Structure 1
Amino acid sequence: MDELSLEDVSDIRGTLALFSHLFDNGEVADLGRVFTEDAVIKLTRGAGRSVRGLPAIGEFALSLRPHGPDHQTLDTHVFVDGDGVVRARSRYLAVLPDGSVHNGDYLDVLRRTPQGWRIGLRVSVPRYPLAKGISG
Protein backbone atom coordinates (compact mmCIF):
# COMPACT_ATOMS: atom_id res chain seq x y z
CA MET A 1 0.00 0.00 0.00
CA ASP A 2 1.45 3.36 -0.99
CA GLU A 3 -1.04 5.87 0.38
CA LEU A 4 -3.94 6.03 2.77
CA SER A 5 -7.14 7.87 1.99
CA LEU A 6 -8.56 10.41 4.42
CA GLU A 7 -11.29 7.85 5.14
CA ASP A 8 -8.64 5.23 5.99
CA VAL A 9 -6.86 7.61 8.37
CA SER A 10 -10.16 8.58 9.99
CA ASP A 11 -11.15 4.92 10.42
CA ILE A 12 -7.73 4.05 11.88
CA ARG A 13 -7.92 6.95 14.34
CA GLY A 14 -11.38 5.76 15.37
CA THR A 15 -10.08 2.24 15.98
CA LEU A 16 -7.20 3.55 18.08
CA ALA A 17 -9.52 5.80 20.10
CA LEU A 18 -11.90 2.92 20.76
CA PHE A 19 -9.12 0.88 22.41
CA SER A 20 -9.15 2.83 25.69
CA HIS A 21 -12.92 2.72 26.01
CA LEU A 22 -13.20 -1.03 25.49
CA PHE A 23 -9.97 -2.15 27.21
CA ASP A 24 -10.29 0.02 30.31
CA ASN A 25 -13.99 -0.76 30.78
CA GLY A 26 -13.46 -4.51 30.45
CA GLU A 27 -15.68 -4.73 27.38
CA VAL A 28 -13.73 -7.74 26.12
CA ALA A 29 -16.51 -9.05 23.91
CA ASP A 30 -15.98 -5.99 21.70
CA LEU A 31 -12.16 -6.05 21.53
CA GLY A 32 -12.49 -7.55 18.03
CA ARG A 33 -13.51 -4.05 16.96
CA VAL A 34 -9.94 -2.95 17.77
CA PHE A 35 -7.66 -6.00 17.37
CA THR A 36 -7.27 -8.77 14.82
CA GLU A 37 -7.97 -12.29 16.07
CA ASP A 38 -4.21 -13.05 16.11
CA ALA A 39 -3.10 -9.67 17.47
CA VAL A 40 -0.06 -9.35 19.71
CA ILE A 41 0.53 -6.76 22.42
CA LYS A 42 4.18 -6.39 23.43
CA LEU A 43 4.76 -4.63 26.73
CA THR A 44 8.35 -3.42 27.06
CA ARG A 45 8.16 -2.06 30.61
CA GLY A 46 10.33 -3.90 33.12
CA ALA A 47 11.06 -7.48 32.06
CA GLY A 48 8.52 -7.18 29.25
CA ARG A 49 5.66 -9.42 28.29
CA SER A 50 3.77 -10.46 25.16
CA VAL A 51 0.05 -11.12 25.04
CA ARG A 52 -0.96 -13.14 21.98
CA GLY A 53 -4.42 -13.52 20.48
CA LEU A 54 -7.75 -11.87 21.11
CA PRO A 55 -8.81 -14.21 23.97
CA ALA A 56 -5.54 -13.56 25.85
CA ILE A 57 -5.87 -9.79 25.28
CA GLY A 58 -9.36 -9.97 26.81
CA GLU A 59 -8.05 -11.93 29.81
CA PHE A 60 -5.26 -9.38 30.21
CA ALA A 61 -7.75 -6.48 30.17
CA LEU A 62 -9.90 -8.18 32.79
CA SER A 63 -6.87 -8.97 34.98
CA LEU A 64 -6.25 -5.23 35.41
CA ARG A 65 -9.75 -4.49 36.67
CA PRO A 66 -10.96 -2.79 38.75
CA HIS A 67 -7.75 -0.92 39.59
CA GLY A 68 -5.97 -0.80 36.24
CA PRO A 69 -4.72 2.29 34.48
CA ASP A 70 -7.07 4.65 32.68
CA HIS A 71 -5.57 5.10 29.20
CA GLN A 72 -5.70 8.23 27.06
CA THR A 73 -4.47 7.97 23.45
CA LEU A 74 -3.29 11.16 21.76
CA ASP A 75 -0.99 12.69 19.15
CA THR A 76 -1.45 9.84 16.68
CA HIS A 77 0.56 9.80 13.47
CA VAL A 78 -0.68 7.32 10.83
CA PHE A 79 1.62 6.40 7.94
CA VAL A 80 2.66 3.77 5.45
CA ASP A 81 6.28 2.71 5.91
CA GLY A 82 8.79 1.97 3.14
CA ASP A 83 7.66 -1.68 3.01
CA GLY A 84 4.01 -0.74 2.53
CA VAL A 85 3.02 -1.59 6.12
CA VAL A 86 0.37 0.64 7.70
CA ARG A 87 1.59 1.92 11.05
CA ALA A 88 0.52 4.35 13.73
CA ARG A 89 2.53 5.97 16.48
CA SER A 90 0.53 7.41 19.36
CA ARG A 91 1.43 8.94 22.67
CA TYR A 92 -0.46 7.57 25.63
CA LEU A 93 -1.10 8.77 29.16
CA ALA A 94 -2.17 6.25 31.77
CA VAL A 95 -3.62 7.58 35.00
CA LEU A 96 -2.99 5.05 37.77
CA PRO A 97 -5.36 4.43 40.69
CA ASP A 98 -3.16 6.48 43.05
CA GLY A 99 -3.40 9.47 40.71
CA SER A 100 0.13 9.17 39.37
CA VAL A 101 0.64 9.20 35.62
CA HIS A 102 2.61 6.87 33.38
CA ASN A 103 3.16 7.70 29.73
CA GLY A 104 4.74 6.30 26.62
CA ASP A 105 4.22 5.44 22.98
CA TYR A 106 2.05 2.88 21.23
CA LEU A 107 3.70 1.61 18.06
CA ASP A 108 0.98 -0.14 16.06
CA VAL A 109 0.85 -2.20 12.89
CA LEU A 110 -2.61 -2.13 11.38
CA ARG A 111 -4.41 -4.37 8.91
CA ARG A 112 -7.50 -3.71 6.86
CA THR A 113 -10.02 -6.48 7.50
CA PRO A 114 -13.51 -6.98 6.07
CA GLN A 115 -14.79 -5.36 9.30
CA GLY A 116 -12.43 -2.36 9.05
CA TRP A 117 -8.96 -1.40 10.28
CA ARG A 118 -7.63 -3.46 13.20
CA ILE A 119 -4.43 -3.54 15.23
CA GLY A 120 -2.35 -6.64 14.46
CA LEU A 121 0.62 -5.63 16.61
CA ARG A 122 0.87 -3.10 19.42
CA VAL A 123 4.19 -2.38 21.10
CA SER A 124 3.89 -0.30 24.26
CA VAL A 125 7.08 1.65 24.98
CA PRO A 126 7.19 3.47 28.33
CA ARG A 127 8.69 6.92 28.72
CA TYR A 128 8.12 8.10 32.30
CA PRO A 129 8.53 7.03 34.98
CA LEU A 130 11.52 5.13 33.70
CA ALA A 131 11.54 1.42 34.40
CA LYS A 132 14.59 -0.04 36.13
CA GLY A 133 17.37 -0.65 33.63
CA ILE A 134 16.06 1.91 31.14
CA SER A 135 17.99 5.15 30.86
CA GLY A 136 16.81 8.35 29.24
Structure 2
Amino acid sequence: MALALEDRLAVIELIALHGHLVDEGELGRCGEVFTPDVVYDLAGFGQGRLTGLAALRDAALALGAANPVAHHVTNVVVEDVTDGRVRVRSKGLGIMADGSCGSVTYEDVVVRVDAGWRICHRKVVPRREPLNGLYREEAPARRP
Protein backbone atom coordinates (compact mmCIF):
# COMPACT_ATOMS: atom_id res chain seq x y z
CA MET A 1 0.00 0.00 0.00
CA ALA A 2 1.34 3.44 -0.92
CA LEU A 3 2.02 5.84 1.93
CA ALA A 4 0.24 9.20 1.66
CA LEU A 5 2.50 12.18 1.02
CA GLU A 6 1.70 13.82 4.37
CA ASP A 7 2.57 10.59 6.18
CA ARG A 8 5.78 10.22 4.18
CA LEU A 9 6.81 13.76 5.19
CA ALA A 10 5.91 13.10 8.84
CA VAL A 11 8.09 9.97 8.82
CA ILE A 12 11.04 11.88 7.33
CA GLU A 13 10.69 14.60 10.00
CA LEU A 14 10.53 11.89 12.66
CA ILE A 15 13.84 10.44 11.46
CA ALA A 16 15.42 13.93 11.56
CA LEU A 17 14.03 14.76 15.02
CA HIS A 18 16.13 12.08 16.73
CA GLY A 19 19.41 13.94 16.17
CA HIS A 20 18.00 17.25 17.36
CA LEU A 21 16.73 15.79 20.63
CA VAL A 22 19.82 13.73 21.41
CA ASP A 23 22.29 16.47 20.50
CA GLU A 24 20.45 18.90 22.79
CA GLY A 25 20.43 16.35 25.62
CA GLU A 26 16.63 16.22 25.62
CA LEU A 27 16.59 12.51 26.35
CA GLY A 28 13.28 12.83 28.19
CA ARG A 29 11.63 13.67 24.86
CA CYS A 30 12.72 10.48 23.06
CA GLY A 31 9.12 9.29 23.34
CA GLU A 32 8.42 11.77 20.54
CA VAL A 33 10.60 9.61 18.27
CA PHE A 34 10.38 6.05 19.65
CA THR A 35 7.63 3.80 20.97
CA PRO A 36 7.88 3.05 24.72
CA ASP A 37 8.98 -0.53 23.93
CA VAL A 38 11.41 0.36 21.15
CA VAL A 39 14.10 -2.17 20.28
CA TYR A 40 17.39 -0.38 19.54
CA ASP A 41 19.83 -2.83 17.96
CA LEU A 42 23.49 -1.93 18.53
CA ALA A 43 24.86 -5.43 17.85
CA GLY A 44 27.10 -3.99 15.12
CA PHE A 45 28.91 -2.10 17.87
CA GLY A 46 29.09 -5.15 20.14
CA GLN A 47 26.48 -3.71 22.51
CA GLY A 48 23.53 -5.99 21.80
CA ARG A 49 19.95 -4.74 21.81
CA LEU A 50 18.38 -2.18 24.10
CA THR A 51 14.65 -2.36 24.81
CA GLY A 52 12.59 0.61 25.97
CA LEU A 53 13.07 4.34 26.41
CA ALA A 54 14.70 4.04 29.84
CA ALA A 55 17.36 1.70 28.43
CA LEU A 56 18.12 4.21 25.65
CA ARG A 57 18.43 7.05 28.13
CA ASP A 58 20.60 5.02 30.50
CA ALA A 59 22.92 3.92 27.67
CA ALA A 60 23.35 7.49 26.42
CA LEU A 61 24.12 8.75 29.91
CA ALA A 62 26.57 5.88 30.53
CA LEU A 63 28.40 6.73 27.30
CA GLY A 64 28.68 10.31 28.54
CA ALA A 65 31.31 12.43 26.78
CA ALA A 66 31.94 9.61 24.29
CA ASN A 67 28.58 10.43 22.62
CA PRO A 68 28.72 12.31 19.31
CA VAL A 69 28.19 16.05 19.64
CA ALA A 70 26.19 16.02 16.41
CA HIS A 71 23.99 13.43 14.72
CA HIS A 72 23.23 14.16 11.06
CA VAL A 73 20.83 12.07 9.01
CA THR A 74 20.63 12.00 5.24
CA ASN A 75 19.59 9.83 2.28
CA VAL A 76 16.23 8.93 3.86
CA VAL A 77 14.33 6.29 1.89
CA VAL A 78 10.76 5.55 2.99
CA GLU A 79 9.32 2.27 1.73
CA ASP A 80 5.63 1.52 1.37
CA VAL A 81 3.48 0.23 4.20
CA THR A 82 3.41 -3.50 4.92
CA ASP A 83 1.17 -4.77 7.74
CA GLY A 84 0.84 -1.22 9.09
CA ARG A 85 4.62 -0.82 9.36
CA VAL A 86 6.83 1.45 7.31
CA ARG A 87 10.45 0.53 6.65
CA VAL A 88 12.90 3.43 6.50
CA ARG A 89 16.60 3.41 5.64
CA SER A 90 18.82 6.41 6.17
CA LYS A 91 22.46 7.33 6.53
CA GLY A 92 23.79 8.83 9.73
CA LEU A 93 26.94 10.79 10.41
CA GLY A 94 28.17 11.22 13.96
CA ILE A 95 30.58 14.05 14.67
CA MET A 96 32.67 13.61 17.80
CA ALA A 97 33.96 16.37 20.09
CA ASP A 98 37.47 15.97 18.63
CA GLY A 99 36.13 16.47 15.09
CA SER A 100 36.37 12.83 14.03
CA CYS A 101 33.40 11.38 12.19
CA GLY A 102 31.70 8.02 11.83
CA SER A 103 29.02 6.75 9.47
CA VAL A 104 26.11 4.36 10.03
CA THR A 105 23.06 3.11 8.23
CA TYR A 106 19.82 3.29 10.21
CA GLU A 107 17.32 0.54 9.42
CA ASP A 108 14.06 1.58 11.04
CA VAL A 109 10.57 0.16 11.39
CA VAL A 110 8.04 2.92 11.98
CA VAL A 111 4.46 2.51 13.20
CA ARG A 112 1.54 4.87 13.67
CA VAL A 113 0.42 5.29 17.28
CA ASP A 114 -2.16 7.65 18.77
CA ALA A 115 0.43 10.46 18.98
CA GLY A 116 1.63 9.97 15.36
CA TRP A 117 4.47 8.03 13.76
CA ARG A 118 7.13 6.46 16.01
CA ILE A 119 10.13 4.19 15.50
CA CYS A 120 9.48 0.78 17.10
CA HIS A 121 12.71 -0.87 15.93
CA ARG A 122 16.04 0.68 14.95
CA LYS A 123 19.09 -1.23 13.81
CA VAL A 124 22.28 0.85 13.68
CA VAL A 125 24.74 -0.64 11.19
CA PRO A 126 28.26 0.84 11.32
CA ARG A 127 29.82 1.70 7.98
CA ARG A 128 33.47 0.73 8.24
CA GLU A 129 34.42 -0.54 4.81
CA PRO A 130 34.18 1.13 1.38
CA LEU A 131 31.79 -0.53 -1.08
CA ASN A 132 30.75 -2.90 1.72
CA GLY A 133 33.87 -4.96 0.94
CA LEU A 134 32.98 -5.49 -2.71
CA TYR A 135 36.45 -4.37 -3.83
CA ARG A 136 38.01 -7.37 -2.11
CA GLU A 137 36.33 -9.80 -4.45
CA GLU A 138 38.60 -11.07 -7.17
CA ALA A 139 38.94 -8.37 -9.79
CA PRO A 140 38.12 -9.32 -13.38
CA ALA A 141 41.09 -9.92 -15.64
CA ARG A 142 42.32 -6.73 -17.28
CA ARG A 143 42.84 -6.51 -20.96
CA PRO A 144 46.41 -5.81 -22.12
Interval containing the TM-score (normalised by the shorter chain): 0.7 to 0.9
- Structure 2 unaligned regions, length at least 5: 134-144
Aligned match of 2:85: 85
Q: 1:24 to 1:65 in 2, by over 3 A?
A: farther
Q: What amino acid is aligned across from residue 43 of structure 2 in structure 1?
A: T
| Stretches (4+) displaced over 2 A | 44-48, 61-67, 80-85
Whether contact under 8 Å (1:87, 1:109) holds in the other structure is: yes
Identity of aligned residues (%): 38
Describe how 1:1-136 pairs up with structure 2 within 5 A: 2-69=1-68, 70-80=70-80, 85-128=85-128, 136=133
Cα distance change, pair 46–11 in 1 and its aligned pair in 2 (3 A): closer
Give how far 1:61 is off. Answer: 2.3
Structure with more contact order per residue of length (Cα contacts < 8 Å, sep ≥ 6): 1
Computing the radius of gyration from Cα coordinates, the structure with the larger value is: 2
Bigger proportion of residues as helix: 2
Q: Which residue identity lines up with residue 9 of structure 2 in the other structure?
A: S
TM-score (norm 1): 0.86
Q: Please give the root-mean-square deviation of Cα atoms over the aligned residues, in Å.
A: 1.9
5+ long unaligned stretches in structure 1: none
Q: Partners of 1:118 and 1:43 in 2: how far apart?
A: 19
Q: How many residues align?
A: 131
